[in-house]
Structure 1
Amino acid sequence: MEYEKATFAGGCFWCMVQPFEEMPGIMNVRSGYTGGQTENPSYEEVKSGGTGHYEAVEITYDPKQFSYKQLLDLFWPQIDPTDDGGQFHDRGSQYRTAIFFYNERQRELALASREAVKNSGRFNSPIVTKILPAATFYEAEDWHQQFYKNQPQAYKKDRLQSGRDEFINQYWRS
C-alpha cells in the first residue's frame, strides 16, 4: 500500500487529532511542530513563540480510502481561517493556521480549497491560512499524543473554554 502524508496547523494540536483520526483510511495522526528554525524543539520552546514553529498534525493516510481533497474539506471547518494571531483562546504565532504540502498536486488542491473558502461568503474578513511547503515535522512529547483520549477531562475543559466549538457552529454548521 502507498500511504501519503498531510500536515495541517489548526491552532492547538490537541483539537486537530480526533476529527481526522475517526475517518476511514487514516492510518496515523501525530501531534508535533513544523515550519520553524529550531531543530528538535520542545513544547516549552514552541509555546514561547520564539522557534517559528506551528503546532500541527501530521496525518498518514491511504489516498485510495480517503483523498487529500477530503482531508482539506475536513480541515477547514476545524479552524477560523481569518485569524492570523492564533486560534480561539490560543494566541501566538505557534497557533496560526497553515496547510503544508508535500507535492505539486497537494499544493494545487490546497490553493483551490482556500479559494473556495474565500469565495464561500462565510467570512467578511480575508482568509489568512498559509499554504507552505512541508518542512521537517518534529513529533511532540508523548503526553501530547492522543491527548483527547488519554486526558479526556482536561481536553474537554480546554476545548470548551477555547471557543472553538461555538465558532464552528456559527460559521461552519450554519
Structure 2
Amino acid sequence: MIRPIARPRPCAGRLHSLLLALLVAVAMEAGLPQALAADSPATTSTADAPAATAIFAGGCFWCMESDFDKVPGVLSTTSGYTGGSLANPTYEQVSAGGSGHIESVLVRFDPAQTSYAKLLAAFWPNIDPLTATGQFCDIGSQYRSAIFYRSPEQQRLAEASKAQLQASGRFAKPVVTEILPAGTFYPAEEYHQDYYRKNPLRYHFYRTRCGRDARLEELWGKKP
C-alpha cells in the first residue's frame, strides 16, 4: 500500500467560530453535542432543517473546508467523521482505517443564498470522482469520496447529479463516488477545525505535496 504523506499535527488553537445567520442556529451551536445524529434536534429544527445542512467527503477535510468556505451562501463548515460504527472516534482511529468512518465535512448553508444542487456542483470539481481507494496522496477507504444525503430530496439530487456527470462523457472511467445515507456525524478534534486558516503555510505545503490541485486540473481543467 502506498504510504500517504503525513499531515502535520498542530497545537490546539482558538475555538472554532461558526458563522450562522439565524439566532436559533446560534443557540443550537451553543449546546452542540459531540455527535450530530442525522435526526438530532441540533441539526434538524424548523429553522435549520436537513435541507440547510449537507455532508460531503472528498479526502482531506482541511481541503474540503477550504473549498466549501469559498462557496457563496455557505455559513460554516465543520471537519469530522461519519459512516462508521465506532462511537466518538479519534483522528488516530479514523486515519488508521479501522473505524469504518470517512473524513468528511458538515456544511451549513443558507437556502436563501444557495441550494443543495449548487453545493453538489461545487463538490464535484474539488474531488477525484474516479478513484475508489482514497483521494490524491491519502490512500484508504477512510479518505474515499462520498455524498451523505440527509433527506429523500438530497438523495434524489445527488443521484441525479452523479448520473449527469457520468452521462456527460467527460470521463471514460466510471464515477465511483458513493451516495450514502447520513448517520452520526462526529466533529473532529478542535485543532483540525479551520486548519487552513490557522496554519496556512503547513496547509499549503500539505496540499501541494499531496498533488491535489495538480490532479484536479488534470481532471477538470484550470480553475478560472
Alignment TM class, shorter chain as reference: over 0.9
- For residues 87 and 161 of structure 2, the distance between their equivalents in structure 1, rounded to whole angstroms, comes to 31
- For residues 125 and 24 of structure 1, the distance between their equivalents in structure 2, rounded to whole angstroms, comes to 31
Larger radius of gyration: 2
Map of 2:96 onto structure 1? 48
**Alignment partner of 1:82 is 2:125:** no
Identity %: 49
Map of 2:150 onto structure 1? 102
Map of 2:115 onto structure 1? 67
Pick aligned residue for 2:210 from 146, 149, 162: 162
**Alignment partner of 1:136 is 2:147:** no
Large movers: runs of 4+ above 6 Å: none
Displacement of 1:36: 0.3
- For residues 52 and 12 of structure 1, the distance between their equivalents in structure 2, rounded to whole angstroms, comes to 16
- For residues 168 and 212 of structure 2, the distance between their equivalents in structure 1, rounded to whole angstroms, comes to 20
Cα root mean square deviation, aligned: 1.1
Structure 1 gap ranges (5+): none
TM, length-normalised to structure 2: 0.75
Tell me the number of residue pairs that the alignment of Structure 1 and Structure 2 aligns: 174
SS in 2 for 1:64: coil
- For residues 22 and 55 of structure 1, the distance between their equivalents in structure 2, rounded to whole angstroms, comes to 19
Structure 2 gap ranges (5+): 1-21, 23-46
Pick aligned residue for 1:122 from 170, 175, 185: 170
- For residues 162 and 119 of structure 1, the distance between their equivalents in structure 2, rounded to whole angstroms, comes to 29
Pick aligned residue for 2:201 from 139, 150, 153: 153
Displacement of 1:112: 0.6
Displacement of 1:22: 2.2
TM, length-normalised to structure 1: 0.96
CA deviation vs aligned residue, 1:34-70 (integer Å, no higher than 9, x gap) = 0001000000000010011000000011111110000
